Structure 1
Amino acid sequence: MSIYNYLVQKPNGDILSMETYRNKIMLITNTASQCQFTYQYEDMQKLYEKYSPQGFEILAFPCDQFGNQNPEDGVTTSNQCKLQYGVAYSVFDKVQVNGNQTHALFNYLKHEVDCPQFEQQTMQQKMLYNRIQEHYPDYLIGRNIRWNFTKFLVDQNGKVIQRFEPDASMLDVEKAIESLL
């Protein structure tokens, strides 16, 4: 199976083949409108503006599985991203990224790269770990997505290269993108 075999849904209900992104570098992420990491919408927009002319795409998928931090539907979330954060990259319909109703694309992504060890060095990392441990301990097991704004970097050939946890430095994400250009 290839990443290009999957279908995704836009907030308006239109279905899009991942084939659309063949020969593009992609950063695919689950997002939320009311998360402590929501500021990353703006950070990702800066990356998009800088690298999209070179074949870079960002695909954002709102998800409400972590603390009900995206209660809005996909249309509302997409509009909010454009108005509040200036997002010009693609925001898709809401998905689930863990459990029985995991979207097929995210199931694929999770199984293509290893899940990094959960760091607990900074206060933010400790707080995030404690919240997950308290409310979603199963998400700490295996290849589950642990929280909103987990990012997967995919190269021009459709190979999943790296997984970034929500607290990963955007400078590290940018360096990984640059290494593929």
Structure 2
Amino acid sequence: MSVYDFEVRDDQGNLVSLKDYEGKVLLIVNSATECGFTPQYTELTEIYNEFKDEGFVILDFPCNQFGGQAPGTISEIKETCRLKFLVEYPIFDKIDVNGDNASELYEYLKNEKGFEGFDEDHELTPILDDIISKIDADYKNNNDIKWNFTKFLIDREGNVVARFEPTKDLSIVKNEIKELL
């Protein structure tokens, strides 16, 4: 099984097979337009623009499950991303990444690469730990997505090779993308 076995809905509600991205290096991210990590859109856009001609694509899945930080319709979210952050990579329909209505793709991603902890040096780690531990005291011991801007790196064969929590420095993510390209 690989990510190519999944279908997702685009921003118009149409089913899209991830097989359409076969042979490319993918970074799959659950995003939010009103989050402390939202500035990552700028860095993600820079990474995308640097590597898109080498077979790299970011697949963006807005998710409103963490603090209601992805409000509005998918059209409004996409417009914000395009105008404010110059995002050109694909933005798909809003999804759930955890719980009973979680996307099948995200269930697969979480099973392939589990939670390994937040970056201890990141300034938002204590805040995330405080917020999440109040919701789930045992959060460190399950593979659920913990917050917005969790990223999964997929190789050209559709294998999940890495999971990056939102606290991971994007220069490290960029280097791992470069290695796969």
Contact 1:62 1:93 in 2 (8 A): yes
AA aligned to 1:163 is R
Match of 1:74 in 2: 74
Match of 1:14 in 2: 14
| Stretch moving more, 24-33 or 138-147 | 138-147
AA aligned to 2:63 is C
Contact 1:30 1:149 in 2 (8 A): yes
What is the rounded CA distance, in whole Å, between the counterparts of 1:70 and 1:78 in structure 2?
11
Correspondences of 1:18-97 after superposition (within 5 Å):
18-97=18-97
1:133 Cα deviation after fit: 1.3
TM, length-normalised to structure 2: 0.95
AA aligned to 1:171 is S
Contact 2:153 2:162 in 1 (8 A): yes
**Identity of counterpart residues, as a percentage?**
38
What's the CA shift string for 1:53-100, capped at 9, x where partnerless? 000000010000000001112121111100111000011110000011
Match of 1:177 in 2: 177
Q: Which runs of 5+ in 1 are unaligned?
A: none
Contact 2:122 2:167 in 1 (8 A): no
Contact 1:120 1:129 in 2 (8 A): no
Contact 1:97 1:106 in 2 (8 A): yes
TM, length-normalised to structure 1: 0.95
Aligned CA RMSD, in angstroms, stands at 1.3
1:40 Cα deviation after fit: 0.7
